[in-house]
Copies of this chain bind each other. A is one copy, B any other.
């Protein structure tokens, strides 16, 4: 039986605090047909990422907010089911930003065709995709760890943090992760090979992090904010670099919390720099080319949490925001 209807999740109202299922509505329409240069895909995996919380605010930001009634944005992996564009044929697997829907109609130039022999499909949303490229770009463009320096990354078991730490190990740095809970910390040390991992739920996080970083911190890759940020900032060495990638612990806040007094930035000549990976489009293909062999040979490790069914996307986002995922969060919309 050929499917004829498409289901999409649209934003019904702006969430306050944690996003919930009823902030979105499921709508149906007919699967469209491709016009010239267009491709129709069926979605296999949705990527669920912390940055999406920002799209739900009606605030000025680096990217436009999702409007009420619009399909929620996001990257996905799909299979081409109809194509009116050269270079794309039914059965091709593609990466694109088509949002939370079962099928999409997309101009071909916005899709990346994936090498069927490259890596498992879902990897292109995580370790080889936006999160992996974020880690790579942040370390290459800002962090630049030297052999023997100490690199700390928060959300260390996540798809950004896990790549940050593994890259830093390849550079010969001492690598310390910060993650939520003993299970994640164990995986970060045993499977990813970090030198140490500190549980941010410990009673004395500043003390535990200081103990794990006896020579201080030279590079801090920030994914979390809040008390984790304060603990890491307290251990920064002179000339430390801080990659400000995200502050997921604060994304549900309705008002910003106070931050760190910045006097240490002067005295320690620290560099704190924000990054958005889409500013460096050339890094995406560069990273895929570099890291695909590492994924295939198993030397670059990653982990995924997969929720089943498009209707699970809002809860999957809420889960990412409270750290309830373990590794890259995905929603499987249909089987490959």
Residues of A249-273 contacting chain B, CB below 8 A? 250, 256-273
Q: How far is the CA of A46 from the CA of B61 in the complex (A)?
A: 49
Q: How far is the CA of A245 from the CA of B266 in the complex (A)?
A: 6
Q: Chain B's nearest CB lies how many Å from the CB of A73?
A: 16
Task: Tell me whether A62 and B267 are in contact (CB under 8 A).
Answer: yes
A271-283 to B contact mask, C-beta < 8 Å, 1/0:
1111110010000
Copies of this chain, count: 2
Interface residue? A244 (CB, 8 A): yes
Q: How far is the CA of A272 from the CA of B264 in the complex (A)?
A: 12
**Chain B residues near A246 (CB-CB < 8 A):** 266
Task: Tell me whether B261 and A266 are in contact (CB under 8 A).
Answer: no
A99-122 to B contact mask, C-beta < 8 Å, 1/0:
000000000000000000000000
Task: Tell me whether B258 and A244 are in contact (CB under 8 A).
Answer: no
The 4 closest A-B CB pairs, nearest first, are: A258-B258, A256-B261, A265-B274, A259-B261
Q: Given known contacts A244-B265, A246-B266, A247-B263, what 14 new A-B pairs fall within 8 Å (CB)?
A: A54-B267, A62-B267, A62-B269, A225-B263, A244-B262, A245-B266, A247-B266, A256-B263, A260-B262, A262-B272, A268-B274, A269-B275, A269-B276, A270-B273
